[in-house]
Structure 1
Amino acid sequence: MENQNGNSKLKAIVAILAILLVGSLVYIFKLTSDAKTMETTVVEIKSEKEAVLKDLETLKATYDEAIAENKDMTDELIAERDKVTKLIAELKTAKGDAASLRKYKEQYKQLEVKMKNLMQEVEVLKAQNQDLTTDLDSTKVVLEDSKKYNQVLVGQNEELAKTVEKGQKLSVTNLKTAAYKLRSSGKQIETDKASRADVLQIGFTIAENKIAKSGDKVYYVQVIDAKNNVLGDKATISFGDTSLTYSFTTTVKYENKTVDVKEQLPGKDFAKGTYFVNVFDKGELVSKSSFSLR
């Protein structure tokens, strides 16, 4: 009877130990399974965190490139880039839990949407700037063409002005000089003898010119005798860097028609030989001639 009771107790103890063993095995399995699950979760969170960081770095690089290329929206682009930079710094030091990571992923998505909108605006501005550059280039070409055309016109006008100036100059022709003997009666007798000459008569013709300016024209007549002396007034006048010693001046009222001019230069003791007569319009020699007295 005692043996039976002892066997029963032993069986009971073995059963209890078996149950405890099974429970321990189940508990250990559960702990192992939970540890593996937690380890997997930590790895997944770390991987997602690295992925978000990588996306944020890409976002920042996009802003850096846009800032370097765009001058019209620089302030707004810099402000958004600074938000991305700040989020990157926060994420690097953040706890690696799922809730925190979800928060950063949501913020990244918001920043990504903002970036796409800004990039669209940048592209629109680029297109507008390109059109403006094209317009400016076209305007520059037109201005260059106009400048060249104006230079051609200026050259043509200068040539035309020179042509008109030349055309306006009066032609002095038919310059003739003769010596005369004066009679007491006032009559003048032409002579070629120096000893008999009392006066030299110089005559010339101003040709008709329809485009010349009308009005009083002053000519300077220079008579040089055989001894290289300037006869008459021997007055000197300067025209710029040149000076002219002349015998007399004659003022002609010119009305665009042919005018014959005659002036007399009185003298005495005329020298024998060749005389030279020059007619000047200011400092420009417009006609010359010579004659001789014997």
Structure 2
Amino acid sequence: MENQKSSSSLKAVIAVLAILLVGSLVYIFKMTSDADVVKTELTSTMTEKESVMKDLQELKSTYDAAISENTSMSDELILERDKVVGLMSQLSKSKGDVASLSKYKSQFKSLQANMKVLMTENENLKLANTTLTTERDSTMVVLGETKKNVEALTGQNDELSKAVEMGSKLTVLNTSGSAFKLRSSGKVIETDKASKADVLRVKFTIAENAIAKSGTKTYYVQVIDGKNNVIGDKKTENFGDSVLTYSFLTNVNYENKTVQITEDLKGKDFAKGTYFINIFDKDQLVSKTSFNLR
């Protein structure tokens, strides 16, 4: 009887152990399966994280290339590029769980959509700039040709103006000087003796000029005696940096026709020698002559 009880107890123990063993095996299998599932999920999550990071890197590269073109949209492009960089920084620090990856994917798609819009605008802007550059270059060519024509015409006009200016200057010619003695009767007798001279007579002619400006013309007459002294009024006139000492001036009413001018310079005790007569239009010497008194 005791042997039968011992045998039954042993069988019971073996049965319990067998049950525990089976349970342990089932638990171990389940844990292994769960671990494999978790490992698979982690591997998949890491792969997706790397994929999103790669997409963000490509997005950043696209922005970098567009920014380097330095268009008027550069500020907008830099702002969007900085958003991408910020999202990359957040993604690199994340644990890579499914929820956070879903959020990053959503943000990436939003940034990608913005990028497509901005790239389209940027391309349109570059195309417009290219068109404007072509039009500007064409305009510059036309302006260059126009400038050359204007410069040529300006040169011709300058030459014509100079020609007209030169042509409009009055010509003073036939300048002469002589001495006269005054009789009590008022009659004058020409003389070449200094001791007998009472008057020096200066004569000159203003030639006809159809294109000259008509009106009153003033000429300064300078008479220098044999002692190299200016005689007569001996007044001075300033013309800029130059000063002219003259014997007398004469005003002529010029009407584009030839005019004969005769002026007398009265005096006494005229010196012997050579007398020089200079006719000035302002400070420009326009005619000269000389004569002798003995």
TM-score (norm 1): 0.81
Mapping 1:72-221, distance limit 5 Å: 72-74=72-74, 76-143=76-143, 146-147=146-147, 149-221=149-221
Distance 1:232 1:183 in 2: 21
Q: Residues 240 and 88 from structure 1, CA distance in 2 versus in 1: closer, same or farther, beyond 3 angstroms?
A: closer
1:134 and 1:189 map into 2 onto residues whose CA distance is 87
Taking structure 1 as reference, are residues 288 and 117 closer, same or farther at Cα in structure 2, changes over 3 Å only?
same
RMSD: 3.5
Distance change >3 Å, CA 74–CA 195, structure 1 → 2: closer
Q: What secondary structure sits across from 2:184 in the alignment?
A: coil
Structure 1 residues 13 and 147, CA, compared in 2 at 3 Å: closer, same or farther?
same
Aligned to 1:258: 258
For 2:233 and 2:20, the matched residues in 1 are separated by 156
Judge conservation of contact 2:220–2:249 (CA < 8 Å) in 1: yes
Find the counterpart in structure 2 of residue 279 from structure 1: 279
- Aligned partner of residue 195 in structure 1, secondary structure: helix
User: Percent identity at matched positions?
Assistant: 64
1:234/1:246 contact within 8 Å kept: yes
Tell me how far apart the structure 2 counterparts of residues 79 and 226 of structure 1 sit (CA, whole Å).
95
Change (3 A) 1:220 1:46: same
Point out where structure 2 has 5 or more consecutive residues left out of the alignment. none
* C-alpha deviation, 1:271, in angstroms: 2.9
Q: Deviations over 1:24-57 (max 9, x none)?
A: 6566455434433432332122122112112113
The code of the aligned residue for 2:285 comes to L
Q: Deviation of residue 96 (structure 1)?
A: 3.3
Shift of 1:148: 5.3
Q: Is the 8 A contact 2:180 2:201 kept in 1?
A: yes
Structure 2 residue identity aligned to 1:202: V
Distance 1:269 1:59 in 2: 110
TM-fit CA distance, 1:142: 4.6
Q: Which SS does the other structure have where 1:49 is aligned? A: helix
Instruction: Give the distance between the partners of 1:14 and 1:46, measured in 2 at CA.
Output: 47
What amino acid maps onto 1:275 in structure 2? Y
Residues 1:75 and 1:233: Cα distance change in structure 2 (over 3 Å)? closer
SS at match of 1:208: coil
Q: Which moved more, 1:283-292 or 1:237-246?
A: 237-246
Matched to 2:187, the amino acid is K
Flag structure 1 segments of 5+ consecutive residues without an equivalent.
Answer: none
